[in-house]
C-alpha cells in the first residue's frame, strides 16, 4: 500500500465526524494488547524499508542514534453545561517525529505528511545536530513483545455518540437530584485512543494502542446567597464499559458532597503544625514536590536537590517510593515508553534510601545504567523527556486511625489543587481544596481557604508515620506538565503524617 497523505486521511476522517457517530478509525483490534499488528503499514504504507531509508537519512551526518515515532490519535469531547450538550467535537493527530541523538544533544524534526519525501526532509533536519561522517546504518528491526495493561474489547471511535450522550446527561440529572442547593452542573466526557509505532536505529520496533478517558462533574451550589464550587472525575486507560450507572452515581455523590461541605468549612489557624495527608489523590503532592526532582534530566543538569543523593538517606526507613508503568489501566500505565523501552516498575526510594532516578535513553547513557522506560512525549511534535508514570508511596505499618490519633492539633488534607513547585529547590505551595481540622486526635470541622507551604525534600525527610491504606487516585482528567508538554500520569499514597508544614490560615 502506498503512503497516505495526512490531508487525504483527515478529509476522509472528517466525514466520520460529520456523521454524528464520531467514528474515525478502521476498528483494528487484532493484537493481544489492542494494537493491530502493522497498523501503520496497512493504513499508511509504513514499511520496514521506508523506515530504514528515513533512519539512514537521520544518521547521515554521524549521529549516535536515531528513532522514528509515528502517531495516530483520535480524541472526542462531550461537554454539557446548563442542561444542554453545547460542545461536541473530535480531533485527529497524525504524523511522525524523527530524532537524532549525538552525545547528550538532540536534533528533531517532524512532519504531518506520512510520505517519503516529507519524512526524509524531517530526517535531514534532525541530522543537523551532528557534523561528521555517515554513521552505521540501522540494523534489521525486531518487533518486541509487549504486556497487555489496558486491553480494549471495543475502540472508543467505534462507540456511537448515542451511547455517550446518556453519560453526561445522567451526571447532570443526578447531581441536581442530590441537593436542591445545586444551581449549576458541568459534565464532561473525554475519550482518546492513541496509536503509536516506534522504530529505532538499533533495531527496536514496537507498536501500541493507548486509550485514555475521563468522566467529570463540576457543580456549583448556593446557600443563603453564598456560592461554592467543587468537582470530581473518574478515568484512566479504561474501556467505555467502565462508566457504568453505579460509577456515575458515585461520581455525583462525591462532587455534590465536596461542594456542600464547604458551606460549613472554617479557616484553621496559621503557623507550623503537623499535617496528615489522606490516601489516594493527595499523592499529587508527592508527584509534584518530590517526584519531579527524581527525573534524571534535572539531576544530570544539577538542577535537582537530589543530584548528589543516590545511595543516601532521604527519608525514614519505613518510606518506599515507586514509579510504576506496570499497573493496569491507570493514566500513567504503559506497555512501552515513547523510545521503545517496555514499561517497567522503578523503585526510587527503598527503605529511606534514594536508589534510582527516572531515565530515558539519553540520561541512562550518561549515568551508565539501563533506561527505566521513562522516556515520554506529548505527541510526535515533541521530543522525549524523562517523565513520571504512576508514582506512589508504599503502605506503612500503622492504621489510619493511629496516624490521625497521633496529632493533637493540626490539619487533615483530603485533596489539594493549584500548586506551585520550584523543581530545583523543591519549595512548594498548594491550595487545600478539601480537608478537616485535627483536634485531640480526632477529625473535626471541615476547612477551606487554606494554603500549605514547604520544601519537598524536607517534607520527605519529615514523614513520621505511614498507614496501611495505600490508594491510587481514580481520576483521569489531570495532565502533568513539563517543558511545555503534558502527559497523563497516576499517583497515590497511604495516609501519611508529616511532622511539620506551614499552614496559611487565619492568625492565631
DSSP letter string, 348-373: EEETTEE---B--HHHHHHHTS---S
Mean of the pLDDT values across residues 469-489?
A: 95
Mean of the pLDDT values across residues 103-130?
A: 96
**Based on the domain organization, do 137 and 201 belong to the same domain?**
yes
**Based on the domain organization, do 352 and 493 belong to the same domain?**
yes
Residue with the larger pLDDT of the pair 1 and 216? 216
Cell 547521515 belongs to which residue? Answer: 60
Instruction: Give the full edge-to-edge strand order of the sheet including 321-324.
Output: 353-354, 345-350, 321-324, 390-393, 490-493, 471-472
Q: Is 103 left (phi over 0), alpha (psi -120 to 50) or beta?
A: left
User: 316 in a domain, yes or no?
Assistant: yes
**Based on the domain organization, do 206 and 339 belong to the same domain?**
no
Choosing from 205, 239, 260, the residue where a domain stops is: 260
**Based on the domain organization, do 125 and 154 belong to the same domain?**
yes
User: 266 in a domain, yes or no?
Assistant: no
Residue 96 has pLDDT above 50, yes or no: yes
Which CATH number do you get for residue 98? 3.30.2290.10
User: 1 in a domain, yes or no?
Assistant: no
**Based on the domain organization, do 277 and 254 belong to the same domain?**
no
Three-state SS for 409?
strand
Choosing from 211, 236, 260, the residue where a domain stops is: 260
Query: For all residues of the chain together, what is the average pLDDT?
Result: 91
Residue 226 has pLDDT above 70, yes or no: yes
User: 265 in a domain, yes or no?
Assistant: no
**Based on the domain organization, do 180 and 307 belong to the same domain?**
no
Burial class (CB in 10 A: 0-12, 13-18, 19+), 236: buried
Residue 415 has pLDDT above 70, yes or no: yes
Cell matching residue 288: 509534584
Separation between Cα atoms, residue 207 and residue 187, nearest integer Å: 33
**Based on the domain organization, do 401 and 463 belong to the same domain?**
yes
User: 238 in a domain, yes or no?
Assistant: yes
**Based on the domain organization, do 42 and 88 belong to the same domain?**
yes
What's the pLDDT at 506?
60
Q: What is the pLDDT of residues 181-210, one digit of tens each?
A: 999 999 999 999 999 999 999 999 999 999
Give the confidence band of 425 by pLDDT, cuts at 50, 70, 90: confident
Would you say 438 and 407 are in contact if contact means Cβ atoms under 8 Å apart? yes
User: 275 in a domain, yes or no?
Assistant: yes
Residue with the larger pLDDT of the pair 17 and 325? 325
Would you say 441 and 406 are in contact if contact means Cβ atoms under 8 Å apart? yes
Residue among 136, 53, 133, 61 nearest 100 (CA):
61
What's the pLDDT at 337?
98
Residue among 179, 317, 157, 318 nearest 256 (CA):
179
User: 166 in a domain, yes or no?
Assistant: yes
User: 225 in a domain, yes or no?
Assistant: yes
Cell matching residue 126: 534532525
Q: What is the pLDDT of residues 153-186, one digit of tens each?
A: 999 989 999 999 999 999 999 999 999 999 999 9
Choosing from 240, 260, 280, the residue where a domain stops is: 260
Separation between Cα atoms, residue 238 and residue 334, nearest integer Å: 13
**Based on the domain organization, do 231 and 278 belong to the same domain?**
no
CA–CA distances in Å: residue 31 to residues 36, 177, 194, 209: 5, 43, 15, 9
CA–CA distances in Å: residue 110 to residues 10, 341, 367, 378, 379: 17, 21, 28, 13, 10
Number of domains in the chain: 2
Burial class (CB in 10 A: 0-12, 13-18, 19+), 84: exposed
Residue with the larger pLDDT of the pair 478 and 22? 478
What's the pLDDT at 497?
98
Residue among 417, 412, 416 nearest 436 (CA):
412
DSSP annotation string for 164-228:
HHHHHHHHHHHHHHH-TTEEEEEEEEEEEEEEEEEEETTSEEEEEEEEEEEEEEEEEEEETTEEE
Burial class (CB in 10 A: 0-12, 13-18, 19+), 142: exposed
Domain region containing 439: 271-504
What's the pLDDT at 107?
96
**Based on the domain organization, do 356 and 410 belong to the same domain?**
yes
**Based on the domain organization, do 191 and 284 belong to the same domain?**
no
Separation between Cα atoms, residue 311 and residue 253, nearest integer Å: 45
Number of C-beta neighbours around residue 9 at 10 A: 19
| Residue 298: partners with Cβ closer than 8 Å, 6 or more residues away | 292, 304, 307, 423, 424
**Based on the domain organization, do 244 and 286 belong to the same domain?**
no
Give the confidence band of 276 by pLDDT, cuts at 50, 70, 90: very high
Give the confidence band of 11 by pLDDT, cuts at 50, 70, 90: very low
Query: For the chain, how long is the longest CA-to-CA vector?
Result: 76
Amino acid at each position: 500500500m502506498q503512503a497516505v497523505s495526512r490531508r487525504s486521511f483527515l478529509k476522509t476522517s472528517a466525514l466520520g465526524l460529520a456523521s454524528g457517530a464520531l467514528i474515525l478509525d478502521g476498528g483494528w483490534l487484532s493484537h493481544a494488547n489492542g494494537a493491530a499488528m502493522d497498523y501503520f503499514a496497512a493504513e499508511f504504507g509504513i514499511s520496514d524499508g521506508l523506515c530504514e531509508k528515513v533512519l539512514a537519512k537521520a544518521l547521515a551526518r554521524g549521529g549516535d542514534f536515531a528513532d522514528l515515532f509515528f502517531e495516530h490519535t483520535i480524541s472526542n469531547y462531550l461537554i454539557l453545561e446548563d442542561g444542554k450538550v453545547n460542545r461536541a467535537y473530535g480531533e485527529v493527530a497524525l504524523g511522525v517525529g524523527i530524532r537524532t541523538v549525538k552525545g547528550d544533544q538532540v536534533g528533531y524534526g517532524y512532519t504531518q505528511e506520512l510520505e517519503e519525501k516529507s519524512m526524509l526532509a524531517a530526517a535531514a533536519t534532525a541530522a543537523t545536530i551532528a557534523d561528521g561522517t555517515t554513521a552505521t546504518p540501522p540494523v534489521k528491526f525486531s518487533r518486541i513483545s509487549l504486556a497487555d495493561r489496558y486491553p480494549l474489547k471495543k475502540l472508543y471511535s467505534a462507540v456511537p455518540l448515542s451511547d455517550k450522550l446518556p453519560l453526561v446527561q445522567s451526571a447532570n440529572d443526578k447531581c441536581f437530584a442530590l441537593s436542591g442547593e445545586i444551581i449549576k452542573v458541568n459534565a464532561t466526557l473525554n475519550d482518546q485512543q492513541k496509536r503509536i509505532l516506534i522504530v529505532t536505529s538499533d533495531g527496536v520496533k514496537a507498536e501500541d494502542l493507548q486509550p485514555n478517558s475521563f468522566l467529570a462533574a463540576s457543580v456549583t451550589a448556593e446557600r443563603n446567597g453564598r456560592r461554592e464550587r467543587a468537582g470530581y472525575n473518574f478515568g484512566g486507560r479504561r474501556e467505555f464499559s467502565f462508566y457504568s450507572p453505579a460509577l456515575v452515581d458515585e461520581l455525583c455523590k462525591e462532587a455534590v458532597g465536596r461542594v456542600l461541605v464547604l458551606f460549613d468549612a472554617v479557616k484553621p489557624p496559621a503557623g507550623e503544625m503537623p499535617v496528615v495527608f489522606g490516601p489516594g489523590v493527595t499523592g499529587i503532592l508527592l508527584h509534584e514536590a518530590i517526584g519531579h526532582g527524581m527525573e534524571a534530566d534535572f539531576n544530570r543538569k544539577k538542577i535537582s536537590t537530589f543530584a548528589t543523593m543516590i545511595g543516601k538517606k532521604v527519608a525514614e526507613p519505613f518510606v518506599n517510593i515507586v514509579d510504576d508503568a506496570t499497573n493496569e489501566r491507570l493514566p500513567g500505565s504503559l506497555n512501552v515508553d515513547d523510545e521503545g523501552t517496555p514499561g517497567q516498575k522503578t523503585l526510587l526510594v527503598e527503605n529511606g534510601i534514594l536508589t534510582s532516578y527516572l531515565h530515558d535513553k539519553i540520561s541512562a547513557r550518561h549515568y551508565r545504567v539501563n533506561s527505566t522506560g521513562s522516556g515520554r512525549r506529548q505527541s510526535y511534535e515533541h521530543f522525549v523527556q524523562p517523565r513520571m508514570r504512576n508514582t506512589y508511596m508504599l503502605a506503612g505499618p500503622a492504621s489510619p486511625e493511629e496516624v490521625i490519633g497521633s496529632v493533637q492539633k493540626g490539619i487533615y488534607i483530603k485533596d489539594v489543587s493549584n500548586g506551585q513547585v520550584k523543581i530545583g529547590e523543591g519549595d512548594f505551595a498548594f491550595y487545600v481544596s478539601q480537608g478537616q481540622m485535627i483536634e485531640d486526635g480526632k477529625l473535626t470541622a471541615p476547612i477551606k481557604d487554606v494554603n500549605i507551604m514547604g520544601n519537598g525534600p524536607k517534607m520527605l525527610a519529615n514523614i513520621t508515620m505511614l498507614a496501611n491504606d495505600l490508594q491510587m487516585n481514580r481520576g483521569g482528567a489531570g495532565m502533568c506538565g513539563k517543558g511545555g508538554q503534558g502527559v497523563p500520569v497516576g499517583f497515590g499514597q497511604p495516609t501519611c503524617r508529616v511532622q511539620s508544614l506551614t499552614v496559611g490560615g487565619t492568625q492565631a
